[in-house]
Structure 1
């Protein structure tokens, strides 16, 4: 019985490795979360300096914690920020809409693993090829540097959008 169990665990581990191998991986080892667009929307945003429309999504762990007002977010929380170039709507020029895909970024909470960056791991995948950003793992200093002004909010710029 124990041998069958171990064989099953080994098969699942290999299957998980194959699936992860099919996804792009950032220089710090964080793989692209392929299901990020099926996560719940936390909030939209617009970045004026980049001219980008963005949506921030969160996995179930992150969304539940944000709804409960839990800070810091628990380990296992993952947020995705998806960005597109903003374009004027051709039939309604006072409105902007998403144009070309720019990138998707992830924040992965693991307080022990990422203790040097506020408990968060960072990853970015750029363009339609989802090219991992950064030549080596030092790219996270750039990400974390941007997030330090919001250290008091668990390094998060985004708040759960309020709706009636």
Structure 2
């Protein structure tokens, strides 16, 4: 009787045949997803990537990241999340001397979890194009680049802009 009552109530609420919510797309290798609300996070620094990428980039951080960055805390604590938004660089139509963001190219995510990502310096990586994870080959390059170039800064390129 209890199961019948539950089924009737769920049906009345329109939930009887509702599919469970879909999991957000996650990166291969690391399982990193796009963090909810990341576009409202605090600004850390801009960057310009030269050709062939020719991109404008902005890095933002969650509250854990911001607290660590403001204190120059290394290594970053677990729970740190950094997000890099990238756009193709285009010349401004209003000011010929200026370049502005054009088409969005990628959103890149770093998540600090020293246990889960122990084999990659405590960091998990995600690279997304139009909200979907980039392919496996692109994710296979993340750790090698960070390990080779920024080992002395907890594998993070970004510094707080003055």
TM class by smaller structure: 0.7 to 0.9
> TM-score, normalising length from structure 1?
0.80
Larger radius of gyration: 2
1:38-94, Cα deviation, whole Å (9 max, x unpaired): 110000000013110000000000000010111000000000000000000012111
> TM-score, normalising length from structure 2?
0.81
User: In structure 1, how many angstroms separate the alpha carbons of the residues matched to 2:103 and 2:138?
Assistant: 24
Q: Which residue of 1 aligns with 2:142?
A: 143
- Secondary structure of 2:141's partner? helix
Question: Are 2:127 and 2:139, in contact at CA under 8 Å, matched by a contact in 1?
Answer: no
* Count of matched residue positions in the alignment of Structure 1 and Structure 2: 140
The equivalences for 1:8-19 within 5 A come to 18=21
Q: Which residue of 2 aligns with 1:47?
A: 49
- Secondary structure of 1:116's partner? helix
Q: CA RMSD in A?
A: 1.6
Name stretches of at least 5 consecutive residues in structure 1 with no aligned partner: 1-16
| Large movers: runs of 4+ above 2 Å | 138-141
The equivalences for 1:108-127 within 5 A come to 108-126=111-129
- Secondary structure of 1:54's partner? strand
